[in-house]
């Protein structure tokens, strides 16, 4: 039922967007690429249903000071970019607000001095996910304060507790170790729930979902940078020794391996960034491509073939949403564990016992 409900709204969303973009165009000029990209990229407005949208605030810091206005001033009734005359002449160019001259061309020199702090759909979607997380986590935390940690979980507690225990027992403990895992649990839980929440919201085609936050490279890059900082702040002498001067190897090999190991320090967060971005974006493109088949062929047979495939891929995407949050968090814990792992030294008593056994 939930999948069918989501698909109905998804069809309505795509058809409304296609009709709006068509405007006075001839019938049959449906652009699949443009339609799909519009649904996965960021925007200055949030589509609700039909032709109803929420216009988000545009916040610009210009050479003449701060300027704030609604994004609806930058588009016409067909959602096409128009020039808005404020302190400067502004226009949306490839989704970015630029300063233009009297001829409507981008003023490169002036645009370089323009700082854009606008609340776009992805930014608003991130705020929504944070609010949802705060409500869920604070509600569960307040319930624990009232009932204690030894009582049987109820309500949101019964939903949150298995997930928290899963992150602790299956991710943090095996990869970081029993002595050090506790101080990293808040960071790992934050990453896991933030990615998971935005992945699920991205699959909901209506408000408060529909924002492709996890499929935005800026979001995944920010998470990767945070992981990079935490991993390197957690590192010890043993970690850096294995990078710059690999123990137990000839000095010539140490010189050869040091640059490779150093590159690996940066490759790890980069792989985290690209993996999450690519998997989430690819899933959205696949679902939207199957839906667009209905509008391309415009037959009942196309719908009969496309809808089952869309439902199947949608269910796969639900699994991928959880799987990507798990993989990102697990690899983060693994990198922290590798960076903070102490050097292994043979125990003197063990060495002596070994020599005695060898002697006998």
How does pLDDT run across 289-327, given as a tens digit for each residue? 888 877 777 777 777 878 888 888 888 888 889 999 999
Distance from C-alpha of 260 to C-alpha of 237, rounded to nearest angstrom: 18
- The alpha carbons of the chain give a radius of gyration, in whole angstroms, of 26
Would you kindly state where each structural domain of the chain is located, as residue ranges?
57-118, 122-340
Q: Which residue in 311, 329, 314 sits closest to 196, CA to CA? A: 329
Least confident of 31-35, 131-135, 321-325: 31-35
Residue 210 confidence (pLDDT) above 80? no
Residue 182 confidence (pLDDT) above 70? yes
pLDDT tier at 42 (50, 70, 90 boundaries)? Answer: confident
- The pLDDT value given to residue 40: 79
- The pLDDT value given to residue 352: 43
Structure tokens that stand for 155 in this block: 């309500």
Residue 328 confidence (pLDDT) above 90? yes
Average pLDDT value over all residues in the chain: 80
Kindly list the distances between the CA atom of residue 116 and the CA atoms of 101, 111, 123, 242, in Å, as whole numbers in the listed order.
18, 10, 13, 43
**Residues 81/65, Cβ–Cβ less than 8 Å:** no
DSSP three-state, residue 247: coil
Distance from C-alpha of 360 to C-alpha of 358, rounded to nearest angstrom: 6
- Pairing type for strands 84-85 and 65-70 reads unpaired
Which backbone phi and psi does 12 adopt, to 5 degrees? -60, -40
- State the virtual CA torsion across 338, 272, 228, 161 in degrees, nearest 10: -70
Question: From the DSSP assignment, how many helices (H) and strands (E) are in the chain?
Answer: 12, 8
Q: Which residue in 43, 53, 58, 51 sits closest to 115, CA to CA? A: 58
- The pLDDT value given to residue 109: 83
């Amino acid at each position: 039922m939930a999948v069918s409900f989501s698909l109905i709204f998804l069809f309505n969303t795509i058809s409304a967007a296609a009709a709006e973009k068509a405007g006075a165009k001839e019938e049959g000029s449906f652009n699949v690429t443009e339609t799909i990209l519009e649904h996965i990229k960021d925007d200055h407005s949030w589509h609700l249903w039909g032709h109803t949208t929420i216009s988000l605030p545009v916040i610009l810091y210009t050479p003449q000071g701060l300027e704030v206005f609604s994004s609806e001033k930058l588009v016409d009734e067909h959602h096409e970019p128009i020039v808005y005359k404020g302190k400067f002449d502004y226009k949306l160019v490839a989704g970015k607000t630029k300063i233009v001259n009297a001829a409507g061309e981008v003023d490169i020199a002036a645009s370089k001095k323009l700082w854009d702090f606008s609340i776009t759909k992805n930014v608003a979607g991130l705020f929504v996910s944070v609010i949802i997380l705060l409500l869920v986590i604070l509600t569960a935390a307040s319930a624990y304060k009232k009932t204690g940690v030894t009582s049987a979980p109820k309500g949101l507690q019964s939903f949150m507790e298995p997930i928290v225990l899963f992150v602790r027992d299956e991710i943090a403990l095996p990869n970081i170790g029993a002595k050090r895992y506790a101080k990293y649990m808040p960071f790992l839980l934050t990453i896991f729930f933030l990615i998971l929440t935005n992945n699920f919201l991205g699959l909901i085609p209506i408000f408060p979902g529909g924002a492709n936050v996890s499929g935005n490279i800026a979001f995944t890059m920010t998470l990767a940078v945070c992981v990079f900082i935490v991993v390197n702040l957690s590192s010890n002498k043993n970690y850096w020794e294995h990078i710059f001067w690999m123990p137990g190897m000839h000095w010539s090999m140490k010189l050869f391996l040091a640059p490779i190991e150093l590159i690996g320090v940066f490759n790890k967060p980069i792989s985290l960034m690209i993996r999450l971005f690519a998997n989430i974006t690819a899933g959205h493109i696949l679902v939207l491509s199957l839906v667009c088949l209905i509008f391309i062929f415009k037959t009942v047979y196309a719908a009969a073939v496309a809808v089952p495939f869309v439902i199947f891929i949608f269910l796969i995407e639900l699994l991928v949403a959880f799987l990507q949050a798990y993989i990102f968090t697990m690899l983060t814990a693994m990198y922290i564990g590798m960076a903070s792992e102490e050097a292994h030294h043979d125990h003197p008593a063990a060495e002596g016992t070994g020599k005695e056994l060898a002697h006998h």
